[in-house]
Amino acid sequence: MREHGGNLDLAQQRFGGRAEDWIDLSTGINRLPYPVSEVSARAWSALPSRAEIEALHQAAGHAYRTGAPIVALGGAQAAIQLLPQLVPPGRARIFAPTYNEYAGVLSAAGWEVQEVGELGALPGADLAIVVNPNNPDGRRSAPQDLLALLPRVGRLVIDESFADAVPQLSLAPQANQAGLLVLRSFGKFYGLAGLRLGFAIGHAADIGRLAAMSGPWPVSGAAIEIGCRALRDEAWAEAASARLARDCARLDEMASSQGWRLIGGTPLFRLYQTRDALAAQEKLARGQIWPRVFAQQPTWLRLGLPGGEAEWTRLAEGLAR
Amino acid sequence: MREHGGNLDLAQQRFGGRAEDWIDLSTGINRLPYPVSEVSARAWSALPSRAEIEALHQAAGHAYRTGAPIVALGGAQAAIQLLPQLVPPGRARIFAPTYNEYAGVLSAAGWEVQEVGELGALPGADLAIVVNPNNPDGRRSAPQDLLALLPRVGRLVIDESFADAVPQLSLAPQANQAGLLVLRSFGKFYGLAGLRLGFAIGHAADIGRLAAMSGPWPVSGAAIEIGCRALRDEAWAEAASARLARDCARLDEMASSQGWRLIGGTPLFRLYQTRDALAAQEKLARGQIWPRVFAQQPTWLRLGLPGGEAEWTRLAEGLAR
């Protein structure tokens, strides 16, 4: 198992409590989720029909402002798992540091993986990976700079798992080009990571192959039903984006008063430079708040946004200890 | 798209009505599902933890009476999709006729696929597939006959998607052997196919590779929560098995009065020889009841079991037209 946020198991082992007692800020999952409300009996019982899956693709195209071919998958992670079957092994370059599953999955499949710190070092790769905006440091790449890479790499994967609230960064509208593949996560912005829903958007040939590899029923009936509802709800998305922007400013201010320096972030998480991230983690964990730390970067602390006033209060108390 | 049961889209296109108006008997999905009741907020929002996935594996081991290594996947279908990555391409033999996804997925991945009508024709294959009990004809293979094949094939996959109510047929308890892989479907017997949950059970090396291929969060939080509850509920499983046995006898009697001959079946569906299956399908479809027909077998009609008295009444009326 690679190290991930959301590892509350570890928090509970070390500091006790039930999962539901903790405020898990170790992920970039929105803590004020889209309301699930009713799930129909049919969504639980029946195999999803082609028409239902097609309606989900339409809703995703609407939300992501694209007419490009789309396939629903069990999270952006499911698309990452399929990459080694989509492209024959070769040299991959990953714009790093970033989400560690890319290097892990590709290395395990026999790829030569190189992590690079500049977009300019990606050309020449058989497969280039850019997470935009990036996790964990929030680094942003301009869409035109990414498109300029396209003729210079075998395949360009843009992971837009954190792009919902910064749609101007998205290449989804231009994804219908050979060699370009855009990945979207549903669960983070909509706060429903347990649903396991994400999308790959790209050229028809790639999307057709991903669809064939993932089979006739790649996502659950609940994912289809809730996904269709949420992806069509523009008012909710606008309100969530506005609230997250306000909350980022509020969290940055609290961090600043701790002497932490903002390295970067997205509307769903913030990355701070601290004197000692493990000490900060331990202080917060005593109040059952779980931040993300990074083994390779002992000063980095990543925090998701608290989900309501009670959580903000607990965070303020945790920081004041 | 290969032809499957559950294709209500087609029924609606040809005969009208909303999906929820139809009695879908074209699948082997139990129409009296395990009660879903509450799903926790955490199951929707959080990434499943290792502890939660492990609890699901334990519950599956309990229900399937095995201590062998297990991995949860998005349905038995997800395991089928992974087979070409688990075993290098070669010669596959499939005990046929059976579920058409095996031949389809393996052929697409470059396998030489041969369909055989006898267990005795399987030895020599790099990969042998047996669905037990078989879909659609209910043919049963004795566990000792299957185990005898094990040293004579490269890998033996036993698909037990319809074995819940006939546990004496299952090889799950003996699945911890190199070369043997048992697949289980959760959604059919528990009537929750929309949940997308199934399991592969086998030798540690294979299960470890399937787990790596399916990634850290292969199933949804709802699948884990409901799956754990259902797989531990022995009283429900016993009552469902007993009810299905009674219902099979009742359906066979109704079919017999139509002059249909029982070819075979499992506790979740029955296969009948009719004079003209398309004509029988059309007659039932006028009452918004959807049976399964088979392009290659114009006399075969497969029926799932109706889900309650109202559905039995509609079926009797449909047959009386």
Q: Which one of B40, B75, B217 has the shortest CB-CB distance to A217? A: B75
Structure token digits, residue B118: 């006898």
Contacts of A218 in chain B (CB under 8 A): 74
Interchain CB distance below 8 Å, B47 and A101: no
Measured between CA atoms, the residue of chain B closest to residue A51 is B9
DSSP state, B34?
A: P
* Confidence grade of residue A5 (pLDDT, cut at 50, 70, 90): confident
**Residue A134 CB-half CA count within 13 A:** 22
- Could A220 and B218 be called an inter-chain contact, meaning their C-beta atoms sit closer than 8 Å? no
Q: How far is B266 from B260, CA to CA, in rounded Å?
A: 17
B89: which chain A residues are within 8 Å (Cβ-Cβ)? Answer: none
Rounded CA-CA distance B255/B272 in Å is 8
Q: What's the start-to-end Cα distance of chain B, in Å?
A: 33
Residue with tokens 């600043």: A256
From the list A49, A75, A220, the residue facing B217 with the nearest CB is A75
Instruction: Quickly tell me which residue has 């095996």 as its tokens.
Output: B102
Interface test with A, best of B220, B224, B226, B268 (most A CBs within 10 A): B220
Alpha-carbon gap: A220 to the closest alpha carbon of chain B (Å): 5
Give the pLDDT score at B1. Answer: 64
Cα B225 to Cα B36: distance, rounded to the nearest angstrom: 10
Nearest CA in chain B to A216: B1
Cα angle B158-B163-B166, degrees, rounded to a multiple of 5: 130
A215, B20: Cβ pair inside 8 Å?
no
Contact B33, A44 (CB under 8 A): yes
pLDDT at residue A6 is higher than 80: no
Q: What is the distance in angstroms between the Cα of A82 and the nearest Cα belonging to chain B?
A: 8
Through-space distance between the first and last CA atoms of chain A, rounded to whole angstroms: 33
Q: Is the pLDDT of residue A3 over 90?
A: no
Q: What is the mean pLDDT of residues A131-150?
A: 97
**Element (H or E) spanning B260, and its range?**
none
Q: Report angle CA B288, B185, A37 to the nearest 5 degrees.
A: 65
CA distance B247 to chain A (A): 19
Closest chain B residue by Cα to residue A224: B194
Mutate to test the interface with B, among A49, A220, A292, A311 (most CBs of B within 10 A): A220
- Over pLDDT 90: what percentage of chain A? 95
Chain B residues within 8 A of A27 when measuring between CB atoms? 47
What are the phi and psi torsion angles at A152 (to 5°)? -110, 5
A6-23: buried (b, 16+ CB within 10 Å) or exposed (e) per residue?
bbbeebbeebeeebeebb
What pLDDT, on the 0 to 100 scale, is given for residue B5? 81
Inter-chain CB proximity B80 and A215 less than 8 Å: yes
Nearest-by-Cβ selection for B213 from A31, A81, A219? A81
Ordered domains of chain A (ranges, CATH): 8-33+235-319 (3.90.1150.10), 41-232 (3.40.640.10)
Nearest to A38 by CA among A221, A226, A205: A226
Nearest residue, CB atoms, A195 vs list B191, B193, B220: B220
Question: Looking at residue B3, what is its pLDDT?
Answer: 81
User: How far apart are the CA of B117 and the nearest CA of chain A, in angstroms?
Assistant: 26
Q: What is the 3-state secondary structure (H, E, C) of chain A?
A: CCCCCCCHHHHHHHHCCCHHHCEECCCCCCCCCCCCCCCCHHHHHCCCCHHHHHHHHHHHHHHCCCCCCEEEECCHHHHHHHHHHHCCCCEEEEECCCCCHHHHHHHHCCCEEEEECCHHHCCCCCEEEEECCCCCCCCCCCHHHHHHHHHHCCEEEEECCCCCCCHHHCCHHHCCCCCEEEEEECCCCCCCHHHCCEEEEECHHHHHHHHHHHCCCCCCHHHHHHHHHHHCCHHHHHHHHHHHHHHHHHHHHHHHHCCCEEEEEECCEEEEECCCHHHHHHHHHCCCEECEEECCEEEEEEEECCCCHHHHHHHHHHHHC
**Mean pLDDT within A107-134:** 97
CB contact under 8 A, B219 and A212: no
Q: B77 to chain A, minimum CA–CA distance in Å?
A: 7
Q: To the nearest whole angstrom, how far is the Cα of B150 from the nearest Cα of chain A?
A: 28
Nearest to A158 by CA among A173, A296, B220: A173
Question: Which of B297, B258, B259 has the alpha carbon at shortest distance from B277?
Answer: B297
- The tens digit of pLDDT for each residue in A253-268 reads 999 999 999 999 999 9
Comparing alpha-carbon positions, the chain B residue that sits nearest to A189 is B45
For residue A48, give both structure tokens. 């999803």
* Residue B22 DSSP SS3: coil
Candidates A51, A191, A215; nearest CB to B45: A191
Mean pLDDT throughout A24-39? Answer: 95
B281, B286, B287, B290: CA torsion to nearest 10 = 30
Cα–Cα distance for residue pair A66/A28, rounded to 1 Å: 24
Q: Which residues of B touch A8 (CB under 8 A)?
A: 46, 49
Q: Which two tokens stand for residue B89?
A: 């391409």
Q: Which chain B residues are within 8 Å of A217, Cβ to Cβ?
A: 74-75, 77, 193, 196
**Residue contact B45–A27, C-beta within 8 A:** no
pLDDT the model gives residue B321: 85
DSSP structural state of residue B5 = T
Residues of chain B with pLDDT under 70: 1
Chain B residues whose CB is inside 8 A of the A100 CB are none
Interchain pair A20, B9: CB under 8 A: no
Question: What DSSP character marks residue B193?
Answer: G
Contact A222 B220 (CB under 8 A): yes
Separation CA B95–CA B105 (nearest Å): 15
Predicted local confidence at residue B238, as pLDDT: 98
The pLDDT score that the predictor gives to residue A2 is 78
| Integer angstrom CA distances of residue B230 from A189, B142, B240 | 31, 27, 12
CB B110 within 8 A of CB B83: no
DSSP B48: P
Closest CA to A113 of A123, A99, A102, A97: A102
To the nearest 10°, the Cα dihedral for A117, A123, A129, A132?
Answer: 70
**Minimum distance, in Å, between the CA of residue A213 and any CA atom of chain B:** 6
Q: Is the pLDDT of residue A109 over 90?
A: yes
Closest approach of chain B CAs to the CA of A164, in angstroms? Answer: 17
Q: Which chain A positions have a beta carbon within 8 Å of B77's beta carbon? A: 215-217
* pLDDT bucket at A251, cuts 50 / 70 / 90: very high
Q: What is the pLDDT of residue A155?
A: 97
Distance CA A86, CA A1 (A): 23
Largest CA distance in chain A: 56
Strand-pair partners of B294: B297
Closest listed residue to residue A173, CA positions, set A55, A60, A52, A82: A60
B33/A9 Cβ within 8 A: no
- Positive or negative, the CA dihedral B248, B251, B253, B255 is negative
CA angle A28, A34, A40 (to 5 degrees): 130
From the list A47, A187, A191, which residue is nearest B194 (CB)? A47
| Mean pLDDT for the stretch of residues A207-230 | 97
Both tokens assigned to A194 = 């347990």
B217 and A223 within 8 Å at the Cβ level: the answer is: no
Q: Which residue of A has its CA nearest to B25?
A: A46
pLDDT score, position A234: 97
Mutation target vs A (from B8, B30, B196; most A CBs, 10 A cutoff): B196
- What is the token pair recorded at B127? 């990969």
Question: Can you list the pairs that A312-317 forms with residues at least 24 positions away whose Cβ atoms lie under 8 Å?
Answer: A312/A250, A314/A23, A314/A287, A314/A288, A314/A289, A315/A23, A315/A25, A315/A254, A315/A284, A315/A287, A315/A289, A316/A254, A317/A287
Rg (CA), chain A: 20
* Spatial distance between the Cα atoms of A82 and A86, rounded to a whole number of angstroms: 6
- For residue B125, give the DSSP letter: -
Q: Which of B39, B194, B213 is the closest to A221 by Cβ? A: B194
Tens digits of residue pLDDT in B117-149: 999 999 999 999 999 999 999 999 999 999 999
pLDDT of residue A4: 83
Say if the Cβ atoms of B221 and A194 lie within 8 Å: yes
**Per the structure block, which two tokens stand in for B56?**
């699901």
- Are B192 and A45 inside 8 Å of each other by CB? yes
